[in-house]
Chains A and B, each alone.
Chain A
Amino acid sequence: MSHKRTREEADLPEDPGEDLLLGTQESSLFELQVEELLNGARVDYVREDDVEELIAKLSALLRSLPVKKLDGPRGEAAKYLKRMGMPQKSLRFAPPERVCAVGGWVYRTLASPNRTVDVAMQMPSSCFDEKDQLNNRYFARRLQYLAEVATVLRRNPAFKDVSWDFLQHDARRPVLVITLQRAGGETCAIRLLPVLAPGTFPLTKLAPERNNLRASAGPAAAGADKDAPGLPATPHYNAAIMQDMLLDMQHQVLQDAIKAHPNLGDAIILLKVWARAQGSCGQPDSINGFLLSMLAAHLAATGSLVHAMKPLQVMRAVLNALQQPSLFSKGTAMQRRSLEASAGSASPPSPAAFCRHHVAVFMDPSGHLNLAAHLSKSAIAEGQSAARHGLRLLDQAADQEAAFAELFLTKHTPTLTYDASWRVSVPLDGSSGFETSDVLPHRGMEARVEGVAQQALGTRAKSVRALREPLHSGPSLEAASSTPSSVSILIAAQLDTGEALRAVDMGPPAESPKAGAFREFWGDRAELRRYKDGNIAESVVWECGPSERHLVVDRVMDYALKRHLGAACAVSGHAGLLDAVMHRRNAHPDEQANARRQIEAAMLKLGKQLRSASSLPLKIVAVQPLSAAARHTAAFPPLPHPFAGGHRADPSAKVDRCLDTIDLLAQLEGSGKWPDNPRAYAKAKAAMGCQLADELASGFGLHAHASEHCIDVLADGFAFRIFLASERDSAMADASPAAQAGKESLTPPEAMLARTAEHAALRRSAKHHAMLAALSGAAPAFPAAAQLASRWVSVHMLSNHITEPMSELLTAAAFAADRAALIPGSRLSGFIRFLHLLSTYSWRERALVVDPNAELAAADRETAVAAHSKARREGMAPAMCIIPAYDTGNWLGKGLSASVVHRISALAQRSLSVIQGHVEGGLLTPGVVQASVFTSALADFDALLQLSRDALALAPCAVLSHKAQRAAVEQQGFSSAASILPLEALQEGSKHSRAMLKALPQELVRKHKMSTMGQNLLLGFKPVELYVESIEQRYGGVATVCADAQGGGLIGIKWRSAVQKAHELTIDTAHAVSPAAATSAVRSSKAAKRQRMANGIGVGGAVTLDTTSCLAEILVMGNGLVEHVFVKHGSVT
């Protein structure tokens, strides 16, 4: 059926926007975003008109320079040449033959904020001798020429701001950058590129297999014309000279292509923005904007791009070409264009010759120059993986806005792209090799280190990359390029999570010819090992405890690099950077790691026992875990407890008074005999629980205690809390508003228990667990990253704002495929992504749909997002909204205020920049990083409550000890509130309010014969959470409360500014205020007081926050729990 007929039938009104609408129905949002991005990235060339004038002025100045003879280099140029081991020759200086703009400026493809205008300056051939291509002579004279120009420019007031930069970070090829003052105070930069006429040196002599750097640079050798046989080829050196000769031609080709294709220019801008965002642009050995432009031009010339393609489609085609592995490795040649007659008509070398000498081959139109000569293998791999990721985002992103941001707007630093990194510093023996090596020594060392790292990691890593040190531009050559005595290299790797943590590297079989090489590489560590299948093979074994598995990669790198680069090289890795905060002070890290496995075993066993419980009227058909401890995402899993039949490795370990429970959901088989009344149903289920508890006690000898909501069981050292579920639950939950009404009279602990036991809550946590367990299977680094995230949340006292499921979901979102090129492969990279997500996501505007396993249908996602944006338009949207895939109707983070969300983002940003600075810059020590990432920012609070050490079950997990905490509080500008509140009276306390929850020494337990379960062990009891909840309930409208649920004994209080100001009395905050006049009455004179009494006004309309009485009341509420109160200096009147 034709399109036209459809429209007629549908009886639609004519609409001019319809074609647009129909044409872009799939990705209109993406297209619109691209349009806006282009608008932002295009440079407004009309506004920059005066630049043309400046270039003309510059040209006139340079063209008028006198011819003169320079005997030798002077000043900084001489020093630089000496250091680089280049010859110091005389120069016949002549004015440039041509000075004109080239590059992005000319064909309008500059991508803002980069506004550097490239200006080519053609040096006359007469400046050079015939054989200047040999032994760096050309580069020496080129530098002298530039130095002369720089001297002239510096004398001219208009161009005096001249600095040095390096083309492709190549120390041989400096260029001049002139910063110009323009009208209106803006600056613009002109990059002066020296070029040569194509015929200056014979192109045949610069073919890749030719040698132009002779070892003995004596007069005799210099005279030799022919290559001495056996001299190594100098392909990179040759390419560098040719690039100066052939620059004009490349630009001509590019310009023609852009003119011919309407959208190519915009596509190149897009590609540049993309490359810059992917972070691969600034590297000396990586695919840069120019190469991408040439690739686009090549595709246009070969007919891969049609004129109807939009910029985004052109970009997609270029990415598609880029991701082909054969593009560079097999060699690609641009359409040949004949050179000017003067350049000679030598036929170019064969492509095979280029492939022999370069890892990547992309021939320019002359056929003599390899444009990809500077690329390294790892850089190509990086570029191609970025391209693949880009294509994936373009083709199948579930969330187009996030995909767009990921492609163009997110700056991908190495810490975000790579899982692990190591800083290696290797000493460099200063002078040797500059004269004769094709690749400069520090570049050579970088490549060598990369090779060793690649071999050491083997299959542990998907990709390894040594990030090359860029040469920084500077006002003088000396500052710009110093040759240090050692190179500091950042090696980054993407890990294969399945392989990265293996403890044994299995090599070739003993009799294999490869065995020798393996032994050679690993040295003493290589040993013969017999495997279970009878295979005898060379192996390397890395011994490590259960808590040190993630450190194996660091050890491998440390050993291999030191073995091959000498003991003087220093290697520092970051796999264990944040480990210390995950340790309890009262248990060995291994014990904690073991506990995780023991929990799993105990859970499995109990599950079997539950399913085999025979005396119940209804059988248990399935058991499912619900707790974070069961999916390894809890920062501090419960340790085996002696009262529950567990054994601690350390015999002197103290006995905890509280034990966290691991929640399980036990599904009962269906039955029609349940009561119909919801309340009676609940009681019948509780009775079933009683029976189960009896059965567990009598049948399996376990301690089991039932409550109305759950059954607590002690098994194998752990406490399990079993909730019963039956298929009748949902029908009963729908029909039981009456059951809700009774809950008001519950005590706080029971209310908390009842909330967990609600049908909807149980179902949600079951689905939550299933989703995260599936994710852990796909991304083994997820649980450890979630632990770090949960620890970060609690240390920053956000536990009551970002609940445990929320922090897990946020981490899961950071592991989602459309947010990351590769799923994070280490705990640190996962944690970094979590921080990045928290700090960069625009929470105010968008809901975060967490769907790491891509199980949500597109329509459901759309509905969920639409519901949120509708709420936002109506002003009803919460400040943060997390939508889990398993329950899109249930928004998490609803309760957070905008200021808390802002604080979360700011804290995450701060932590992120510290870690990034450490990993990429290497300036801080691990201790400092830990201290700044895992220290709560106390200064923002108005008051702090310090909880009693005795009342904290998790006190050994806290980062700071009780004493250190108090010192930190005082250092942050807080002082005791004793001056306004009589704290002593409370501190004495009474036996009616105090309780000992701290761990007890074992002798005490033995002495008092407490080693029976009895009433001594509190299961799943969370007093701090209950207390915080009660404060929030009563003071939620008056203050923001922040608490740490993992042992940090501080509760922070920040008063709301609206209540602190004088305001009208409202009933919901009446319990926190005093009349505004009354507070000043304390200090006012008696006469004033009398006058006020005569007026007889109690509340003169205005009231203000009465912090003293609020704190007093909060203190009274936390009787037995709070030990001390601190207030900000100066807040006490």
Chain B
Amino acid sequence: MVKESSDGFTALPLQITQGITYQRYLYLKQHEAEGAKSSGLFVAGVPFFHHDTRGVLQELFEGFGPVRDVVLHPSKSSAVVVFEKPGTRQKVLDAAQAKQLVQLKLQEPERAYGLKGLVEAHKACFPGNAVLRKRLDDWTEEFEDEEARKRREAAAAQEEQGWTVVKRRGGGRKSSDGQGAAVGGVALAAAQAIAAGKKEKHLTNFYRFQQKEKRRSELMDLREKFAEDKRRIAEMKAARKFKPV
């Protein structure tokens, strides 16, 4: 379990060089996840990197010993580092305890970053019609294959359980109801949406008790509104609203 008190944290000073050099702190704490061996280190205050943050963290902590895995929080400001050996974690904590400054020098990224990175990413949204079509077609093909495979597997599983799978007879969808009126194909999702939109009709004023209840609730509503108005007036008075200009 992660302890929430800040007392458990130890600050590890870190000097980062990426374009400019500056100093900051990583906040470290033992990470006691259930079922895992006690070799996890919770790291808060993860800096921003143009490089892949996970990779940088791995590289950084490999300076202390072999790292098995780095798991990054989606906010990218905290992570859990799991070491191969339990001793490595203590080494890191000791270094932090001793206020040993760790230097991290990052080379300039190979690919575009910063503003140019944004420009490139923007351009990548519009890869050209042909490329995009190819990509979409590939995706669809893959998706359909996957769907077909799932269907097959399901059928196979059912057959294995002793069911006889009956194939549907071929033939297009009905486009007329046989009496000349056209019947459009309605997709399942659309049909469901239509069905959800329909409401059952009730007669609300049919029975005497209904009328009675309606009147009653109307009066209750009025009373409630009156109380609400009173409350509002009190608030406005408190805000010194009624000062004539």
Q: Chain B residue with minimal CB distance to A754?
A: B125
Q: Which residue of A712, A735, A1098 is within 8 Å of B9 (Cβ)?
A: A1098
Q: Residue A11 contacts which of B110, B212, B245 (CB distance < 8 angstroms)? A: B212
Query: Within residues 1114 to 1128 of chain A, which ones have a CB less than 8 A from any CB in chain B?
Result: 1115-1121
When distances are taken between beta carbons in the complex, the residues of chain B under 8 Å from A697 are 129
> Which residues of chain A come closer than 8 Å to B9, judged between CB atoms?
1065, 1098-1099
Question: How far, in angstroms, from A10 to B208 measured CA to CA in the complex?
Answer: 10
The chain B residue sitting closest to A687, CB to CB, is: B136
Known pairs A749-B125, A1071-B47; A33 contacts B190 (CB<8 A): no
Q: Are the C-beta atoms of A1021 and B122 separated by less than 8 Å?
A: yes
Question: Considering the chains assembled together, what is the distance between the CA atoms of A1112 and B132 in angstroms?
Answer: 38
Q: How far is the CA of A12 from the CA of B220 in the complex (A)?
A: 10
Residue from A409, A747, A1015 in contact with B241 in the complex, judged by beta carbons closer than 8 Å:
A409
Contact between chains at B77 and A731 (CB < 8 Å): no
Chain B neighbourhood of A1117, CB < 8 A: 48, 114
Q: Report the Cα distance A1112→B21, complex, angstroms.
A: 8
The A-contacting residues of B in range 124-152, CB under 8 angstroms, are 124-129, 132-133, 136-137, 139-140, 143, 147
Contact with B along A542-578 (1 / 0, CB 8 A): 0000000000000000000000000000000000000
Distance in angstroms from A480 CB to nearest chain B CB is 25
- Among all A-B residue pairs, the 5 with the closest Cβ atoms: A1119-B114, A993-B114, A1120-B115, A1070-B45, A672-B185
Question: Do B99 and A1071 touch across chains, with their CB atoms under 8 A apart?
Answer: no
A748 contacts partner chain B, Cβ-Cβ < 8 Å: yes
Are the C-beta atoms of B77 and A1034 separated by less than 8 Å? yes
Residues of A709-749 contacting chain B, CB below 8 A: 709, 712, 727-728, 730-732, 734-735, 744, 747-749
Contact of B97 among A10, A1021, A1068, A1098 (CB under 8 A): A1098
Contact B244 A1113 (CB under 8 A): no
Is B185 in contact with A673, judged by CB distance below 8 angstroms?
yes
Q: Does A41 contact B (CB under 8 A)?
A: yes
| Chain B residue at smallest Cβ distance from A29 | B229
Interface string of A384-423 (1 = CB under 8 A from B): 0000000000000000010001001111000000000000
Q: Is the C-beta of B63 less than 8 angstroms from some C-beta in chain A?
A: no
- When distances are taken between beta carbons in the complex, the residues of chain A under 8 Å from B216 are 10-12
- Known contacts A1065-B9, A1109-B22; is A728 also within 8 Å of B244 by CB? no
Known A-B contacts A1093-B98, A1116-B48; A748 and B22 likewise in contact (beta carbons under 8 Å): no
Which of these, B7, B48, B137, B186, contacts A687 with CB under 8 Å? B137
Q: Does B71 touch A at the CB level, under 8 Å?
A: no
What are 30 A-to-B residue pairs whose CB atoms are below 8 Å?
A24-B226, A36-B237, A276-B244, A673-B185, A673-B187, A684-B140, A687-B137, A705-B129, A707-B127, A727-B190, A728-B187, A728-B189, A735-B189, A744-B74, A748-B118, A749-B118, A992-B110, A992-B113, A993-B117, A994-B116, A1019-B126, A1023-B118, A1064-B6, A1067-B44, A1078-B13, A1098-B10, A1112-B22, A1116-B20, A1116-B50, A1119-B114
What residues on A are CB-neighbors of B223 within 8 Å? 15, 17-18, 21
Instruction: Verify if B35 is at the interface (C-beta below 8 Å from A).
Output: no
Question: Is the CB–CB distance between A986 and B212 below 8 Å?
Answer: no
Complex interface bits, B184-207 against A, C-beta within 8 A gives 1, otherwise 0: 111111101100000000000000
Cross-chain contact B99 with A1093 (CB below 8 angstroms): yes
Which residues of B have CB within 8 Å of A673? 185, 187
Q: Is A990 an interface residue (CB 8 A)?
A: yes
Distance from B146 Cβ to chain A, minimum over Cβ atoms (Å): 10
Give the residues in chain A near B212, CB-CB below 8 Å. Answer: 9-11
* Assembled-state Cα–Cα distance A165/B94 (Å): 85
Q: How large is the interface on B (under 10, 10 to 19, 20 to 34, 35 or more residues)?
A: 35 or more
Least Cβ distance of A29 to chain B in Å?
4
Output the least CB separation between A709 and chain B (Å). 8
* B64 located at the interface, meaning its Cβ lies under 8 Å from any Cβ of chain A in the complex: no
A113-B244, A1070-B78, A1109-B22 known; A750+B121 contact, CB < 8 A: yes
- B210 contacts chain A at the CB level, 8 A cutoff: no
- With A33-B233, A1078-B11 known as contacts, the answer to whether A706 contacts B132 (CB < 8 A) is yes
Interface segment, B23-31, B81-89, B153-161, B162-170?
A: B23-31
In contact, B116 and A1099 (Cβ under 8 angstroms): no
Contacts of B68 in A (CB 8 A): none
Are A41 and B133 in touch, CB under 8 angstroms?
no
CB distance from B24 to the nearest CB of A (A): 4
What's the Cα separation between A199 and B112 when bound, in Å? 99
Chain B residues near A985 (CB, 8 Å)?
19-21
Given A1075-B11, A1098-B99; 17 other pairs, CB 8 A cutoff: A18-B219, A25-B225, A29-B233, A409-B241, A676-B187, A707-B125, A749-B121, A985-B20, A992-B113, A995-B115, A1066-B6, A1071-B45, A1074-B11, A1099-B9, A1112-B24, A1119-B113, A1120-B115
Cβ of A1072: which chain B residues have Cβ within 8 Å of it?
45
Counting CB contacts under 8 A, is A595 at the interface?
A: no
Contact A694 B129 (CB under 8 A): yes
The verdict on A1021 contacting B19 (CB below 8 Å), with A10-B212, A21-B226 known, is: no
Interface mask (A862-892 → B, CB under 8 Å = 1, otherwise 0)? 0000000100000000000000000000000
Q: Determine the distance from Cα of A219 to Cα of B21 in the docked complex, in whole angstroms.
A: 100
Question: How does the 8 Å CB contact mask read for A1073-1090 relative to B, with 1 for contact and 0 for none?
Answer: 111001000000000000
CA distance A13 to B68 in the complex (A): 74
Tell whether, in the assembled complex, residue A707 and residue B132 are in contact, meaning their CB atoms are under 8 Å apart: yes
Residue among A411, A709, A1067 with max Cβ neighbours from chain B (10 Å): A1067
Q: Which residues of A contact B147 (CB under 8 A)?
A: 677
Bound: A869/B117 CA distance, A: 45
Q: How far is the CA of A869 from the CA of B21 in the complex (A)?
A: 50
Interface centre among A41, A705, A1093 (most CB of B within 10 A): A705
Looking at the complex, which one of B22, B119, B185 makes contact with A981 (CB distance below 8 Å)?
A: B22
* B105 → A minimal CB distance (Å): 13
Contact call B225/A981, Cβ cutoff below 8 A: no
B6 touches A37 (CB 8 A): no
Q: Is A1101 an interface residue (CB 8 A)?
A: yes
Are A1034 and B19 within 8 A (Cβ)?
A: no
Size range of the chain A interface in the assembly:
35 or more
B226 to chain A, nearest CB (A): 5
Q: Are A986 and B242 in contact (CB under 8 A)?
A: no
Task: Tell me how far the C-beta of A341 lies from the nearest C-beta in chain B, rounded to whole angstroms.
Answer: 43
Q: Decide: A731 and B245 in contact? CB cutoff 8 A.
A: no
Pairwise interchain contact A21-B139, C-beta atoms closer than 8 A: no
Within the assembled complex, what's the spacing in Å between the Cα atoms of A585 and B232? 51
Given contacts A36-B237, A672-B190, contact A705 B112 (CB under 8 A): no
In the assembled complex, the CB of B120 is this many whole angstroms from the nearest CB of chain A, namely 9
Q: Does B33 lie at the interface of the complex (its beta carbon under 8 Å from any beta carbon of A)?
A: no
Assembly CA distance A111 to B109 (angstroms): 74
Q: Is the CB of B244 within 8 A of A33?
A: no
In-complex Cβ contact of B233 among A36, A672, A1075, A1099 (8 A)? A36
Contact residues in A for B186 (Cβ distance below 8 Å): 672
| Nearest B-chain residue to A694, judged by Cβ | B129
Q: How far is the CB of A1077 from chain B (nearest CB, A)?
A: 9
Question: A602 within 8 Å of B by Cβ?
Answer: no
B residues within 8 A CB of A842? 239, 241
Q: Which residues of A contact B187 (CB under 8 A)?
A: 672-674, 676, 728
Which residues of the partner chain A approach B185 to less than 8 Å between Cβ atoms? 672-673
Task: Pick from A10, A708, A993: contact of B132, CB below 8 A.
Answer: A708
CB within 8 Å for A1108 and B22 given contacts A712-B126, A1098-B99, A1099-B11: yes
Q: Report the minimal beta-carbon distance from A622 to chain B, rounded to whole angstroms.
A: 19
A1058 in contact (CB, < 8 A): no
B139 and A408 within 8 A (CB):
no
CB distance from A803 to the nearest CB of B (A): 20
Q: Does A40 contact B (CB under 8 A)?
A: yes
B46 at the interface (CB under 8 A from A): yes
- Please state if B45 and A680 are interface contacts (CB–CB under 8 Å): no
Shortest CB–CB separation between residue B169 and chain A, in angstroms?
20
Distance in angstroms between the alpha carbons of A1034 and B19 in the assembled complex: 20
Quick check: A29 and B232 within 8 Å, CB to CB?
yes
Query: Residue on B with the closest CB to A1117?
Result: B48
Name the residue of chain B whose CB is nearest to the CB of A948: B115
Q: Is A753 an interface residue (CB 8 A)?
A: yes
